[in-house]
Structure formats: C-alpha cells, structure tokens
Structure 1
Amino acid sequence: MKKIPALIGTASLALLLSACSGDDDNKSASGSIDDGERSNEYGSIDHGVKEEDGEIGFSLDGGSVEEAENVPEEEKTAILKTFNQYIDTLNAGQVDEYLTTLSTENYDLDEERAAAEEMLASGELTRTPEDLTIVKYTEEEAQLFSTMKTAMKVKETGQEDARQGRQVTVLTKQDGDWKVKAVHYIGDQE
C-alpha cells in the first residue's frame, strides 16, 4: 500500500511538469513526459529552459523572492490571468481549456492531452498556488514564482497524497498572448 502514495505523487508531479519535456530543438524526442529531466537528491527538476543566460531568474532552493520592478500593470494582470487559467482549468479537468494556456512553440499538445486525460481518468488533481510573484520580466518573457501544494486523489480508492514545493512558471508572448513556456519545480523535503 505504501507504493500508492509514491505513484500518485509521481503521477501528479509528472503531469504538473509534463509539458516541460518538449523544447524548441526537439519537440518529439521519444514521447515520454519525463524525457530530458535532470534531478538531484532534493527532487528538483530542471526542464532545460533555453534562455540567453541559461538560468531562471533566481534559485528555487531558498533565499528571498523579490518582485520584478519593471512589470507594467496591464502585463501583470495578463500574466496572472494566464497562470490562473493554467491552474484552474486542469484542476477542473478541462483539458481543452488547459491546453490553450500552453505555448505551442514549446509543448507537444498531443502529448499533453494524452498525459492529462490519462491522469484525470484515474485521479483528481488539485494544485493550490500561493505567494504569486513575478520575479523576472521582459516584453517577451516572464517568470512567475509560487509556492505550490499539489494534491492527488485516486478516484477508485479515495486515497489522497499531497506535496508542497516551490515553482517558477516561465511564460512567453505568443501571438500577443501570454502562454506557459516551461515549469521549474522543487519539492519540499518530507
């Protein structure tokens, strides 16, 4: 029975981060949602976001989180709207709506649909973000920090598993709209 929480946690984390397996150079490497993940002993996952400086705006392993100062109010509103839609639609099991929040330049939407539908067929996902902070901003890309509680409930048994961690969601402008480009997540140690 101890394997079920681990499987649930792995499944929810995989779905939460699944779209990050695609990248600009190789959108369909081998089809696994886990392709390209690098992890360390703390459970962090870096999904290979290719940025000019090669890094996200800050470290996920602690330290202070400071809001970017140069974010125009209308852009902040649009970024938060996209992020909330990204969270809310998957929580509600609205796969088509969830897919509209993802960058088609960075995600294989067919893979994302399959992963989301498979996960939602057997479980109920609830992601609860807090402490939303835009930590890096340019006119074409934004990085949104949040603390994230991810809970998964197995429909068949009612068994639940929850994880807490920190996440940076990278959003990009695509055809004038903000879309989720990648996710960096590190789970808190139990």
Structure 2
Amino acid sequence: MKLIHLLILAATVLALAACNSNEDKAKTAGSASDNAPSNAQSVTDHGAKDKSQVGFQMAGGNIEEAMNVPKKAKIAIIEAFNEYMDAFNEENIDRYMKTISKKPEGFNYETEKSDVQAAFKEYDITRTAENTTIIQYDENNAQVFANLNTNLVQPSTGAKLERNGRQVTVFVKEDGKWLVTSVYFMMETSK
C-alpha cells in the first residue's frame, strides 16, 4: 500500500474524516512512498517483475551487504537514497520527483507526484532510515535495505501516528543517475 493509504489509515484511526474509493486505491497502488498501514505484519511489494530478485526475505532473516559494489557506486547509491529521503522530508515535490525513475516498475510517476503533493499539503511526515545497506548490486540496478520510522502529524487536528518497518528501495541507473523504480515495505507488528 502506498503513503496515501497510510495517511487514510491515520485519519481513520485518529477519527478524522478521510476516504478513498476502491477505484482510486487500484489506480494509486504501488508508490515510492509506500508504507503498509496495518497492525499485523504485512508486506507491500510492488515493482520487480520477478519477486525472487528482491535482495532479502521480507518475513525476516539477516541483512547482508552486497560485496560486489565498487566504492564509487556505493557512494552514489547511498547518496541517491539519502536524497530520496531528504527531499521527501523537506516536502520539496520537485526535488523528490527528481529521485524517482521516469519509468518506474512499481508505481505510476504522475500518480506518485499527485499523491505526494496531497500528502505534503495535509500532513507533516518525517521518515528516518537506519541500518541503510546495499543488499544487491549490478551496474544498472541496486537494492537498498533500511529500517524505517515514519512519523505523521496532521497540523489541522494535531493527530499523530508513528509506524516502523523494513524497506527495500530498488534503484535503476537512468541517464547516469540512480533513481527509485520500486519499493518493498514490511510494517513491524505492534506489541
């Protein structure tokens, strides 16, 4: 599910008025800003045509760094991931969309732009990544694992929501730049 669905859940959980038609959900499923809104452990995976190519088992397991990443590529990929996170946190839509592939595998570029703009308008959202690790690499594709914390606040009501999870962000090299093409997210179960 995508960020907009997290926002809808937040609004519902916090007794806010929000809704989304099934048609809208179908059209907007699969975003670079995805988070799975659920108290149960769930996996959101959109993008890779062959899911077996994702670099770790979403249900658990050890995270191992890819050993074949050249130093220069590693720096560029981590910088691309950090830019993706920073641009989102700064709510800079133009900067954020520059981190997204023009032909993503996991979502629609224009829908992503529209949904993220709407989220920026309605909510203050901060995403923090820890344990950022390149887990798969070849010269045109890279997968970056991170533990993510998402904090959401609706300024108009003061409503708040916090979610933690694990994410693999898949990058593709496009015009010499590493850009997000799909995202896999697994929400941590609440205790």
With over 3 angstroms needed to count, the CA separation of the structure-2 counterparts of 1:9 and 1:54, relative to structure 1, is: farther
Aligned pairs for 1:1-190 within 5 A: 7-8=9-10, 32-34=27-29, 42-51=41-50, 54-106=52-104, 107-190=107-190
SS at match of 2:27: coil
CA RMSD in angstroms comes to: 2.8
SS at match of 1:32: helix
Take 2:30 and 2:99, find their aligned partners in 1: how far apart are those partners?
A: 21
Take 1:35 and 1:177, find their aligned partners in 2: how far apart are those partners?
A: 22
Query: Could you tell me the TM-score, scaled by structure 1's length?
Result: 0.79
User: Match of 1:25?
Assistant: none
Take 1:168 and 1:96, find their aligned partners in 2: how far apart are those partners?
A: 23
Take 1:103 and 1:6, find their aligned partners in 2: how far apart are those partners?
A: 25
Give 5+ residue unaligned stretches, structure 1: 11-29
Query: Could you tell me the TM-score, scaled by structure 2's length?
Result: 0.79
| Percent identity of equivalent pairs | 34
Structure 1 position 57, deviation (Å): 1.3
Take 1:79 and 1:5, find their aligned partners in 2: how far apart are those partners?
A: 28
Give 5+ residue unaligned stretches, structure 2: 1-5, 13-24
Q: For this pair of structures, how many residues does the alignment match?
A: 167
Moved runs in structure 1, 4+ residues, more than 6 A?
none
* 1:91 counterpart letter in structure 2: N
Structure 1 position 6, deviation (Å): 6.7
